[in-house]
Amino acid sequence: MSKNRPSHYTKGAPASRLRADSSASRPAASARKVRPSQRRRRQRRTAAFSIAAALVLVATVTLAFIGRSSSAGYKTGASDWSLPTLGGGPTVTLASLHGRPTVVNFFASWCQVCASELPVFARDAVALRGRVNVVEVNALETGNGVSFANRFNLFGDATSVLRDVGGAQGDGLFQSLGGSTSLPMTAFYGADGHLITTHIGGYDAATLAAQLRTLYGVAAPL
């Protein structure tokens, strides 16, 4: 007598093989066609990313080139600097100012506190001529530094008005002296060119006179 076979049995092919063959005949998910709209969105995203990356690269190279070219031939070390005159003119060095104390005040046209203190520095520069050097340095400028300096009559025999160079935005010396993004800042040098101290923030007539008296023993007008 023959044995009864299971009802699901198929001659010549085990059930497990049939299930495997049937699954293999189905199209794989990865092989499914991508809709044209999806393909276009992917292409736009890829193109946008490529453009953004290219713009970042161009900006980085441009800033590096500007920084190198604008600082060529000048020095921005805190104890040994040489800077061009703002608006064009001779280079001024720290070494050329040795023999008298030197006050270096940084300003920019966008700085409202600078606008308040510059008349005080300009007046003291005239009052202390021959005893203290007063140097104004235009740094971190985004506007018209020359026009701003003219507004306060900074260009004259008593004051040197210079332009900072190098750095990320015309602020090489400013950075060397510990500046970051805040203006104004003032550096005080001894007669030998040695840096005594720096001050971040503005001065009025009384506080600047007190600082000059403490550091240099000179009397400035109040």
Average pLDDT by consecutive 10-residue portion of the chain (222 residues)?
A: 47 47 49 66 69 49 43 90 95 97 98 97 95 97 97 91 95 96 96 97 97 96 83
Give CA separation, 176 vs 61, 195, 197, 198, 218, in Å. Answer: 23, 12, 13, 11, 27
In this prediction, residue 32 carries a pLDDT of 58
Count CB atoms within 10 A of the CB of residue 63.
12
The SS3 assignment for 186 reads: strand
In this prediction, residue 199 carries a pLDDT of 97
In this prediction, residue 156 carries a pLDDT of 87
In this prediction, residue 72 carries a pLDDT of 77
Helix axis angle for 112-127 and 205-216, nearest 10°, is 50
In this prediction, residue 84 carries a pLDDT of 97
pLDDT tens for each residue of 35-77: 777 777 777 777 666 675 555 443 443 444 444 445 678 999 9
In this prediction, residue 44 carries a pLDDT of 73
